[in-house]
A and B are shown apart, each in its own frame.
Chain A
Amino acid sequence: MNTHLTLLQALVILLPLFGFVVAILAPNKMKKMYLVETGIMFVSLVLAAILFFTKIFNFSEEIIRSQFTLFSLGMGEKPFELLVDLTMDNMTVSLLFMVTLISFLVHFFSLEYMAEDPLKNRYFGYLGLFTFSMLGLVSTGSILFIYIFWELVGLSSYLLIGFWGYKDEAADACSKAFITNRVGDFGFFLGVLTLFITYRSFDLFYIFGEIAKGSYPYGSEVWLTVAGLLLFCGAIGKSAQFPLHVWLPDAMAGPTPVSALIHAATMVAAGVYMIVRLFPMFTETAFIVIGVIGGFSALMAATVALTQLDIKKILAYSTVSQLGLMVLAVGVGAYQAAIIHLMFHAFFKAGLFLGSGSIIHATHSQDIMDMGGLRKKMPVAFYTTLMYALSLIGFPLTIGFLSKEMILTSSLVLGNMTGNYIYFVFVVLTSVLTSFYIFRYIFLIFFGEPRNKHAYEHANDLNIFIKLPLIVLAALCFFFFFTLNPITLHGSYVTELLFKFPDILLPKEITHGFLTASPGNIYSTEYMHSLHESELLATLTSALIILAGVGTAWYMYMKKKLVPKVPEGALGKLYLFSQNKWYLDELYGVTVIKGTHLTAALMSWIDKNIVDGVINLGAWVTVALGKFSAAFDLYVIDGLVNLVAWINGFFSMFIRKFQTGKVQSYLTLAMVFIVLFVMYVFSN
């Protein structure tokens, strides 16, 4: 039976790949091939659903794995074996389901959104490729294969961002995205190598077991930390954490559905997924770094999102910030919070993007200044977006509330136990800003007076292709799909079933906090206890947060009807600072990028002039020698004749030395030499 499941899983993964092949290799005549691809996607979705329920209801406790050897090398006692690894636990199947679902919705949405595009086959093919890679990524237990699919999602993201490559910003964005990710993967790759040479295996579960047994790289926990952080580098790249987040906003140059699927819902979450997967192998230091980076990214991105005018940019930074929260959640040891928020965020952020997509499609503009008052024109877009926004800020009764509250609680508890409230502060601040900018977004788009009459006239909700996905996703934002208790997820199947690691995978003890923090065992009953009693406080906090953020937004944009612009004075500086994304792009531009290109230029110069120069010098020397000996031969001793002439000159000069003695004097001299020589001869 398990094998059947495995086959089903394999099918779910491979179908989109098949779709990709079909769509890509379709001859130009078969314009409609993308429909086939969409159909295949749907099949894959259905199968994923079946897989999900079967797994949950029949094999909830098992981790179903199947491995086969791709190739093995060497005769040694431990030959190198490359295992293809297909692993399925509850987390996997839930993510499979989620990914296929969103992917299908995006396909569906694209049918209308991309209707005019000539290269639809190619577009849907890429979507298929992406889906395949993403599914593969979540359903393997081998760090190597995670890396492989990791790269493949990178590839498909590259292709999709660059899909409108004739637009310069798209052209730049796709390269930027891939290369920035590659930088992160550099670390990831080294991490993989470190793990392998330590445990001679890529199998994560085996590795976790070894770590639990206390065998570390080079036998020291420091190196375990290093390995963990190296792997985390990959996550920093993919999940657009500071300092490698710069690619994500630019990636918005791709088609909006792509942004929804890849740069909001799934791919960017891959980083978070990975660190959740690797959760058991992180050490305390690693957790600290992760948490801090996550928190900082969350806060920074939120501040940037405050002032953006491009609606997709706003959402992009909001994504970065939310991802930051998830990473932070992992940092504070609440892996469940992280992964659950990942999934929920996928729903409402995809929704937000699709919504923005419909708006863009309707108004043919991305600039927030062209909008306003669309509420009446696009009711569906409005209400769904509102729903998403509410779950984004964690309004009660929405899924956002549940996950956000988990993060708040766990960070708060950590603070309680270790006296280190920095994470909590991060979360609170971020949330306040979030609820502000997202409502700024709503108010500016849907309320007030239309700022661009022309666009306003054309705007409407369009057809079912646009509406359906929005509605479905909006529906998913209600809590009752996931728990019957609107207050907390505790005890719901989500926490108890989907995203629960078997205890062996959980670290016995993780000590936390900055330098002088007292240890606390976060999986102890004590922890759980304090978790429960902190929940109320957390809930209150979030309520306040929402009030604060939304209130401010309402005050500024509804009551005062402010239009976004640069305020005067010091505030203006801050405003610009935020609007220009902390000037990070400029910074990288002058440091990293320029640096690289200078080095390249330098190296080429060296190669041309020095390395090659030496060779040419060698040739030149040979040539010079040749010239010299030729000249020597020509002018100095050109046959006996010149020899004569030369010696002539020589002697005449000589003779001038002996003015008085004339030639005879030299002759006698010569004679003396000879006589001396002959006498020497006879002396022996």
Chain B
Amino acid sequence: MSQFPYLSVLTFLPLIAALGLIFVPAEKKNTIRYTALFVVIVQILATALVWFGFNFDLTGINKLEGYQFVEKFTWIYLTGLPIFDTFKVDYFLAVDGLSMPMVILSTIIAFVATISSWNIEETTNKPGSSKGYFILLLILNTGTMGVFVALDFFMFYIFWELVLLPMYFLIGIWGGPRKEYAAIKFFIYTLAGSVLILLVIIGLYLSVLEPYGGSKIHTFNMLAMMDKANFTSDGMMSLLNPGNFRFLAFLGLFIGFAIKIPLFPFHTWLPDAHVEAPTPISVILAGVLLKMGGYAILRIIYPIFPEQVQQWAWWIAFLGMINIVYGAFCALGQKDFKKLIAYSSVSHMGFVVLGIATYSELGIAGGVLQMFNHGTVTAMLFLIVGVIYDRTHKRGLDDFGGLATQVPMYTGVVTLAFFAAFGLPGLSSFVSELMIFIGAFTSDAIRVLTVISAIGIVLGAVYMLRALQKIFLGKMKDEYKTLKDLTVREYVMFVPLGIIVILFGIYPTPMLDIMNKTISNLLTAIQ
């Protein structure tokens, strides 16, 4: 604990900034915006420091020694209570190879989102709304960051829920025409998921005992839950207890997380939310929020319910397959640019699920990498939609055509993003998808599913190129004669993402080194 608490800074700096902003008058637009920017830049620095200080040999997952930058204090500690006579919640932050990529991702996305929120008042024409917007954005930032670094299940849940509320308002206030519907749908949907999670959390809490100061007490510590030895013999989750609820608990958690991913058939909130949300919010939604689901499955379900996972791996992979193909077809069927992107997210998150269902180092590493890559690529895609929408206030694919000659640089960016999206070799997604496919193809059980999923690659090309052609090729309408190419601010958003996409396409090693040991350990832990 001697070292500097990077993670706390990462997590709570935005919240503090948000509290500070409350006292800034709404007129001081620039103060607010630059504060937000400052916060994300500090976050980037912190993340960089964590990255440099990261020890690639530690294994994480189920052993405290495996974690780094650990900050573990008692947060709430009550003794002398009935039944389980202590109630203890820890303030427990740490990173390992699984959470580190996600932390990096959410830092990047936070930065990009802040930049693209710069003129939120103009783009959503809500004058004077910057204050509330950025406060909510910062709170959201805290929530997302916290989910990835919290290792106390209870804390995790708090962050998990903390994400919902700002999101609700951000969609509901700054959103598009059907914002109310989208906002409440998103909220109710995800809430329904997370209350299930809550029940399971309590169930686990009641059936896990962790040695503490001589005696054994109930705990929310994930690491303790991963150790079978800690389960009480009569607890509802314990393996000894014949009539145990492990399967139900597994199911509850899985549904809870599947809604976030989102996994068929729980995905229908996504298109609405995406289409109605303002650009930066869609970016965060697709870039980070969806990853929370996949991350949670790996971080929580796998180590805590290995046997259920083993038992249901095929079905998980099946759902992943459905996501891939179904999402792709839906994307192909869309007329609305943004909806198309949203469904492409559904399809791509399917790859993640397929990957983590493979039970192989390659597959899972691919899944995590895919989460990262999809995060960056899809962020780019939504920003792209945002750019064209800000300029023309149109989103229908058929409203455009032949923009290529008018806005060459923009076209270039779009081409890059699109080809990255359907996994062109040399761009980031290809590596992860390749790993996923190899991993999946290696396991005999789900080979057939893999073959079917591979159709997703073809379809990916089909719908992406279709969009590309409809928007940028062919005859140009005269109304776009005056269309402006990218501005400096937009370059600031696109260039980092573009660099990441290309860099990790050619040389993904840094990312993989981070997760390598951890994932091997995950596999050994769950076998």
Please say whether the chains A and B touch (CB closer than 8 A).
Answer: yes
Which residues of A556-605 are within 8 A (CB) of B? 596-597, 599-605
Query: B525 at interface (Cβ–Cβ under 8 A)?
Result: no
Contact between chains at A197 and B438 (CB < 8 Å): yes
- Least CB distance from B183 to A in Å reads 14
Q: How large is the interface on B (under 10, 10 to 19, 20 to 34, 35 or more residues)?
A: 35 or more
Contact between chains at B268 and A611 (CB < 8 Å): yes
Query: A147 at interface (Cβ–Cβ under 8 A)?
Result: yes
Contact A166 B333, CB 8 Å, known A151-B424, A151-B425, A152-B425: no
Query: A465 at interface (Cβ–Cβ under 8 A)?
Result: no
- Chain A residues in 8 Å Cβ range of B267: 611
- Chain B residues in 8 Å Cβ range of A74: 361-362, 365, 516, 520
B433-471 contact mask (Cβ, 8 Å, vs A): 1 or 0: 011011001100000001100110111011001101100
Contact between chains at A189 and B419 (CB < 8 Å): no
Contact between chains at B473 and A174 (CB < 8 Å): yes
- Chain A residues in 8 Å Cβ range of B473: 162, 165-166, 170-171, 174
- Chain B residues in 8 Å Cβ range of A369: none
- Chain A residues in 8 Å Cβ range of B468: 175
Which residues of B386-408 are within 8 A (CB) of A? 402, 404-405, 408
Query: B82 at interface (Cβ–Cβ under 8 A)?
Result: no
Which residues of B472-499 are within 8 A (CB) of A? 472-476
Contact A175 B419, CB 8 Å, known A71-B509, A151-B424, A600-B330: no
- Least CB distance from A229 to B in Å reads 14
- Chain A residues in 8 Å Cβ range of B474: 165-166, 168, 171
- Chain B residues in 8 Å Cβ range of A71: 508-509, 512-513
Contact between chains at A614 and B265 (CB < 8 Å): yes
Contact between chains at B404 and A166 (CB < 8 Å): yes
Contact with B333, one of A172, A183, A604, A614 (Cβ below 8 angstroms) = A604
Contact between chains at A175 and B457 (CB < 8 Å): no
B303-333 contact mask (Cβ, 8 Å, vs A): 1 or 0: 0000000000000000000000010011011
Q: How long is the Cα–Cα vector from A139 to B426 in the complex, in angstroms?
A: 17
Query: B507 at interface (Cβ–Cβ under 8 A)?
Result: yes
Inter-chain contact total with CB atoms closer than 8 Å: 143
Query: A178 at interface (Cβ–Cβ under 8 A)?
Result: yes
- Least CB distance from A124 to B in Å reads 15
Q: How large is the interface on A (under 10, 10 to 19, 20 to 34, 35 or more residues)?
A: 35 or more
Interface class of chain B by DSSP: helix
Contact between chains at A189 and B461 (CB < 8 Å): no
A65-76 contact mask (Cβ, 8 Å, vs B): 1 or 0: 000001101111
Q: How long is the Cα–Cα vector from A603 to B343 in the complex, in angstroms?
A: 12
Query: A179 at interface (Cβ–Cβ under 8 A)?
Result: yes
Q: How long is the Cα–Cα vector from A604 to B508 in the complex, in angstroms?
A: 35
Which residues of B223-266 are within 8 A (CB) of A? 264-265
Contact with B332, one of A175, A597, A611 (Cβ below 8 angstroms) = A597
- Chain A residues in 8 Å Cβ range of B188: 619
Query: A186 at interface (Cβ–Cβ under 8 A)?
Result: yes
Q: How long is the Cα–Cα vector from A196 to B438 in the complex, in angstroms?
A: 8
Contact A80 B361, CB 8 Å, known A74-B516, A151-B425: yes
Q: How long is the Cα–Cα vector from A151 to B431 in the complex, in angstroms?
A: 13
Q: How long is the Cα–Cα vector from A108 to B509 in the complex, in angstroms?
A: 40
Contact between chains at B458 and A182 (CB < 8 Å): yes
Contact between chains at A186 and B455 (CB < 8 Å): yes
- Least CB distance from A139 to B in Å reads 16
Contact between chains at B442 and A168 (CB < 8 Å): no
Chain A residue at minimal CB-CB distance from B462: A179
Contact A607 B457, CB 8 Å, known A76-B361, A165-B402, A193-B441: no
Q: How long is the Cα–Cα vector from A71 to B515 in the complex, in angstroms?
A: 12
Query: B189 at interface (Cβ–Cβ under 8 A)?
Result: yes
- Least CB distance from A274 to B in Å reads 15
Contact between chains at B458 and A183 (CB < 8 Å): yes
Query: A190 at interface (Cβ–Cβ under 8 A)?
Result: yes
- Chain B residues in 8 Å Cβ range of A10: none
Q: How long is the Cα–Cα vector from A342 to B177 in the complex, in angstroms?
A: 59
B408-431 contact mask (Cβ, 8 Å, vs A): 1 or 0: 100010010001000011100010
- Least CB distance from B35 to A in Å reads 35
Contact between chains at B441 and A197 (CB < 8 Å): yes
Contact with B425, one of A147, A182, A619 (Cβ below 8 angstroms) = A147
Query: B334 at interface (Cβ–Cβ under 8 A)?
Result: yes
Chain B residue at minimal CB-CB distance from A144: B434
Q: How long is the Cα–Cα vector from A565 to B340 in the complex, in angstroms?
A: 47
- Chain B residues in 8 Å Cβ range of A175: 465-466, 468-469
Contact between chains at A189 and B457 (CB < 8 Å): yes
Q: How long is the Cα–Cα vector from A615 to B185 in the complex, in angstroms?
A: 10
Listed residue (A70, A186, A193, A601) with the most chain B CB atoms within 10 angstroms of its CB: A193
Query: A148 at interface (Cβ–Cβ under 8 A)?
Result: yes
- Least CB distance from A253 to B in Å reads 11
Q: How long is the Cα–Cα vector from A196 to B509 in the complex, in angstroms?
A: 20
Q: List 25 A-B contacts (CB under 8 A).
A: A70-B509, A74-B362, A76-B520, A80-B362, A144-B434, A147-B425, A148-B425, A151-B430, A152-B424, A166-B402, A166-B474, A168-B474, A174-B473, A179-B458, A182-B462, A189-B454, A190-B454, A196-B441, A596-B462, A597-B333, A600-B330, A602-B333, A603-B333, A614-B265, A619-B188
- Residue positions of A touching B, CB distance < 8 A: 24, 70-71, 73-76, 79-80, 119, 122, 144, 147-149, 151-152, 155, 158-159, 162, 165-166, 168, 170-172, 174-175, 178-179, 182-183, 185-186, 189-190, 193-194, 196-197, 596-597, 599-605, 607, 611-612, 614-615, 619
The 8 closest A-B pairs by CB, nearest first: A604-B333, A171-B473, A600-B332, A600-B333, A165-B473, A148-B425, A603-B329, A74-B361
